[in-house]
Amino acid sequence: MTSGARVPPRPSRAEFEAAGEGTIEDVLGPSLDVLFCGINPGLYSAATGHHFARPGNRFWPALHRSGFTPRLLSPAEQDLLPSYGLGITNVVPRPTAQAAELSAEEFRAGGERLAALVAEVRPRVLAVAGVTAYRQAFGVPKAVIGPQESEIGGAAVWVLPNPSGLNAHWTLDGIAGEMRRLRESLARPAGAADRPSGR
């Protein structure tokens, strides 16, 4: 990591064992430009209480490389995000070892919860990090990475690659590039959005 990012301590065995019973608080604030949305917390994240916390997850490095943050933040610094106009939530709040453990019903219920949250918080853009999760939660089976045609809760929607280290199809540079496209779109007038990348 670059200097300035605090590395959180590794969770204890007891914290890991208790992680499946908890949830992670959303990171929210007023006047958000982007509300990032993960699939669901992994057990490592649930044990630490920090989003995208597992070593090897590319979310925080990609966020910095894309220009959203002026330096690399650690997961323990997630509460700084609203000062940059950013927030984080999840489609499904239940922590699991793998997202494959989630049911179709959980994804649908998560989509409804997410739509209500977005309507309340009113970010400019909802950015879902995981195209499969977006497809399942909102019944859009042909959705691809990039900006979407429909809104959710009054916010524009952008689908990003899943930053998990298990998603070998996408490199860190590729994920950061999609985040950069999103960031640059925020400066353009309405109607001048990018097209989905198709990947």
Per-residue model confidence as pLDDT tens digits over 59-99: 999 999 999 999 999 999 999 999 999 999 999 999 998 88
Output the CA–CA distances (angstroms, integers) from residue 137 to 6, 11, 99, 186, in the order listed. 33, 30, 13, 25
Confidence band, pLDDT 50/70/90 cuts, at residue 5: low
Q: What is the pTM of this model?
A: 0.85
More confident residue, 12 or 62: 62
Task: Give the model's pLDDT for residue 165.
Answer: 82
DSSP notation for the chain: --TTPPPPPPPPHHHHHHHTT-----B--TT-SEEEEES--BHHHHHHT-TT-STT--HHHHHHHTTSSSSPPPGGGGGGGGGGTEEEEESS-S-BSSGGGS-HHHHHHHHHHHHHHHHHH--SEEEEE-HHHHHHHHT-TT--SEE-SS-BTTBEEEEE----TT-TTS-HHHHHHHHHHHHHHTTSPTT-PPPP---
* Rounded Cα gap, residues 3 and 136, in angstroms: 39
Average pLDDT over residues 138-144: 96
Percent share of the chain, pLDDT over 90: 76
Q: Check whether 196 has a pLDDT greater than 70.
A: no
pLDDT digit string, tens, across residues 20-61: 456 799 999 999 999 999 999 999 999 999 999 999 999 999
Percent of the chain having pLDDT more than 70?
A: 83
**Confidence band, pLDDT 50/70/90 cuts, at residue 19:** very low
